[in-house]
Amino acid sequence: MITMKTLEKNNIRTKKQIVLLYINQYSEKNIKKYINEIVCDYRKNAKNCKNISTQEALTFIELYGTPDGYVLSEELKKEMNNRKLKV
């Protein structure tokens, strides 16, 4: 039986954290491209930012799925259901 890790809010605060979570599923170049597109949808002038909002991270997860080996924490599940994501 495979043990799944719980994805918490503090695991998705930076672009680097997103890259590390998804590197087994997508190329680093594509992950950065995808997250930058999402950030630009929410913040027009934030091309060189390193930190991402919870809403931006949840949008990424909604579009590309939960990272392999992870399940969303209860808190993130609630936030995903309650937030208006630009999907």
Residue 49 covered by a domain: yes
Give the C-alpha separation, 74 to 20, whole Å. 22
Q: Which pLDDT score is estimated for 87?
A: 62
Lowest mean pLDDT among 4-8, 20-24, 58-62, 80-84: 80-84
Number of neighbouring beta carbons within 10 Å of residue 60? 24
- 2 backbone dihedrals φ, ψ, rounded to 5°: -90, 130
* Residue 36 contacts residue 56 (beta carbons within 8 Å): no
> The whole model's pTM is what?
0.90
Which domain, by its residues, includes 66?
5-82
pLDDT tens-digit map of 7-54: 999 999 999 999 999 999 999 999 999 999 999 999 988 768 899 999
Domain count, the chain: 1
| Domain presence at residue 87 | no
